[in-house]
Amino acid sequence: MQTLSKYLLEELQACTQLKYSGKLIIKAPQGNTWNFYYRFGRVIWANGGIHPCRRWYRQITQHCPTIDISKVKIRAVDLALEHWDYQSVVALYKRSEIDLKQVELIAENVIEEILFDLIYHNHCDELTCVRDSQIILDLPVTFTDTNIFIKRVERKIQVWNRTSLRNYFPDLAPQVQQPEELQKLVSPVVYNNLVTFVNGKHSLRDLSIILKQDVLKITISLLPHIAQGLIQLVNIPDLPLPGSTTRETVALIPLEQAKQPNNALIACIDDSQQVCQILEKIITSNGMRFIKIQDAVQALPKLIESKPDLILLDLIMPVVNGYEICSQLRRISSFAETPIIILTGSDALFDRMRAKVVGSTDFVTKPIVTDKILEILQKYLPSWES
């Protein structure tokens, strides 16, 4: 099992034990550098490696679905910093464009990705570590100690290696080499997807975001074609810093995903965590973005901010019910034509009539059934196809 070297593990643990605040710089002989940022002995951010910009695009795309990444503005003074990625996330939080949970998810994923890369590269005995206590970041989150992250990532590495992926680093990009031969072996739908996305421009990690599938699953699915020489894994450069993005770069990741007609944003207003989770799985697994709003009082401002293409609205909620929210939305010009689908556990005729009176578009009874939701999406989002 691949693990961190004793030297590096001791250095990370020392930062925890000493309640260190500052930057831990890890350098490899090949020139790669990784940085961990500590606050009172807890790692709160990490960056570096070969694709810092691609990593930023992936994290914002995955965890901030309501943000148009092409319009994110990062100050020139922040872009000049080594921790520009951290500064951009904090700025989004301070402008209330993302919430604390999204900040935590981004930070956790970034830290785990950096640790994965350090363990994978298996040249840890040659690494050198330097501390810089002058750089102290103050992310508004509290994490467990570094050991928890390490154990979690070591398990991921173990699974990665156990599935014959030891020689395939997730920052490599798959590229179709023999399209004619590949076309003979796969269905037309699979072939079209492969030649569209497996083009040497997206790393395996990028593809996991574009296709909304786990990077492990994607890589395993490509293995037979890689073994036959039909697909090759190649090194690709990082993207330019956000803000310096050229038109050519915008077409790579993740904005290519935003151009797809089925990348609609669906909002769900329901106080039930379970219902939100079920709907999120259905929506995102079919290539669309999803936003949940469990506090009905916050529904209007969040909907006005995110401008969803379709709204799923629970009928019975505390404080404000679905009828009232629907009625208020129809008074706002930007929601005059937005499909509003009422969710309810009751199929009573009175409920349907009242829902129609306040301006709802359609009605879906609980429990949530995947086919019913997909039917609604196909009906009211003409550009979407399952």
The pLDDT value recorded for residue 137 is 86
**pTM, two decimal places:** 0.64
Q: How confident is the model at residue 88 (pLDDT cuts 50, 70, 90)?
A: very high
Which pair of structure tokens corresponds to residue 229? 């020489």
Map out the domains of the chain with their CATH numbers: 6-162 (no CATH), 167-259 (no CATH), 261-380 (3.40.50.2300)
Q: Which of 67-76, 119-128, 335-344, 352-361 has the highest mean pLDDT?
A: 335-344
Q: Is the pLDDT of residue 170 over 90?
A: yes
Mean pLDDT across 358-370? 86
CA 220 to chain centre: 20
Cβ contacts of 244 within 8 Å, gap of 6 or more? 79
**Contact, 270 vs 312, CB < 8 A?**
yes
Instruction: Tell me how far apart the alpha carbons of residues 265 and 377 are, in angstroms, rounded to a whole number.
Output: 11
Mean pLDDT across 293-301? 87
For the chain, give the percent of residues with pLDDT over 70: 88
pLDDT digits (tens, 9 = 90+) for 19-33: 999 999 999 887 889
Instruction: Tell me how far apart the alpha carbons of residues 349 and 216 are, in angstroms, rounded to a whole number.
Output: 48
The pLDDT value recorded for residue 244 is 53
Mean pLDDT across 225-232? 92
CA 384 to chain centre: 21
- Token match 């590229």: residue? 175
Q: Is the pLDDT of residue 249 over 70?
A: no
The pLDDT value recorded for residue 354 is 66
The pLDDT value recorded for residue 114 is 94
Q: Is the pLDDT of residue 235 over 90?
A: yes
SS (H, E, C) the chain: CCCCCHHHHHHHHHHHHCCCCEEEEEECCCCCEEEEEEECCEEEEEEECCCHHHHHHHHHHHHCCCCCHHHCCCCHHHHCCCCHHHHHHHHHHHCCCCCHHHHHHHHHHHHHHHHHHHHHHCCHHHCEEEEECCCCCCCCCCCCCHHHHHHHHHHHHHHHHHCCCCCCCCCCEEEECCHHHHHHHCCHHHHHHHHHHCECCCCHHHHHHHCCCCHHHHHHHHHHHHHCCCEEEECCCCCCCCCCCCHHHHCCCCHHHHHCCCCCEEEEECCCHHHHHHHHHHHHHCCCEEEEECCHHHHHHHHHHHCCCEEEEECCCCCCCHHHHHHHHHCCHHHCCCCEEEEECCCCHHHHHHHHHCCCCEEEECCCCHHHHHHHHHHHCCCCCC
pLDDT digits (tens, 9 = 90+) for 54-71: 999 999 999 998 888 878
Q: How confident is the model at residue 317 (pLDDT cuts 50, 70, 90)?
A: confident
Backbone angles phi, psi at 107, to 5 degrees: -60, -45
Mean pLDDT across 139-143? 71
Pick the closest to residue 270 from 338, 361, 366 (CA basis). 366
pLDDT digits (tens, 9 = 90+) for 117-133: 988 876 555 788 999 98
Which amino acid belongs to residue 199? N
The pLDDT value recorded for residue 247 is 36
Pick the closest to residue 265 from 56, 58, 67 (CA basis). 67
Q: How confident is the model at residue 348 (pLDDT cuts 50, 70, 90)?
A: low
The pLDDT value recorded for residue 255 is 35
Instruction: Tell me how far apart the alpha carbons of residues 299 and 277 are, in angstroms, rounded to a whole number.
Output: 17
Mean pLDDT across 299-305? 88
Instruction: Tell me how far apart the alpha carbons of residues 53 and 62 are, in angstroms, rounded to a whole number.
Output: 14
Q: Is the pLDDT of residue 360 over 90?
A: no
Q: How confident is the model at residue 259 (pLDDT cuts 50, 70, 90)?
A: very low
Instruction: Tell me how far apart the alpha carbons of residues 208 and 288 are, in angstroms, rounded to a whole number.
Output: 14
The pLDDT value recorded for residue 135 is 84
pLDDT digits (tens, 9 = 90+) for 260-289: 444 789 999 998 989 999 999 889 887 788
Mean residue pLDDT of the chain comes to: 84
Q: Which of 145-154, 160-169, 210-219 has the highest mean pLDDT?
A: 210-219
pLDDT digits (tens, 9 = 90+) for 89-121: 999 998 899 999 999 999 999 999 999 998 887
Q: Residue 151: how many CB atoms within 10 A of its CB? A: 10
**Contact, 81 vs 87, CB < 8 A?**
yes
Q: How confident is the model at residue 384 (pLDDT cuts 50, 70, 90)?
A: low
Cβ contacts of 249 within 8 Å, gap of 6 or more? 239, 240
- Token match 């395993």: residue? 220
